Amino acid sequence: MPKASARLDAARKAYREALEAARSKPTPEAWARLLAAGKELSSAEESRPRSRRGRRAAPERAVPAEDAADEVGAEPVAPAESPSTEMDGADPG
């Protein structure tokens, strides 16, 4: 297994230290440090280099039909009318 990058190792270490500090003494500063360390760790994990085969363009996100009306410039779609159980002008009895 290849060795993780130095940035990722440093981010993991900083997160562990911040987590330990927040658990031992939960101050606003300790929580802020933990939050920052968590964001840095996430960023370091996302930016890991990948093999050439793993480098593909992200597929476009398909918009579900329900959300299509929420798009800018899209006209709202009126719901279909439900069939009536009464007949026009007929006497039900």
Q: 12-70 pLDDT, tens per residue?
A: 999 999 999 999 999 999 999 999 999 999 999 887 666 656 655 665 666 566 555 55
69 φ, ψ (degrees, to nearest 5)? -70, -20
User: What does the DSSP 8-state code read for residue 69?
Assistant: T
Let me know if residue 77 belongs to a domain.
Answer: no
Angle at which helices 6-24 and 28-46 cross, to 10°: 160
Q: Which domain holds residue 33?
A: 1-47
Q: Which residues lie below 8 Å from residue 85, measured CB to CB, with a gap of 6+?
A: none
Write down the pLDDT at residue 1.
44
Let me know if residue 55 belongs to a domain.
Answer: no
Can you give the pTM of this predicted structure? 0.48
Indicate the pLDDT class of residue 92, thresholds 50, 70 and 90.
Answer: low
How many distinct structural domains can be found in the chain?
1
Residue 89: in which H helix or E strand, if any?
Answer: none
Q: Over pLDDT 90: what percentage of the chain?
A: 39
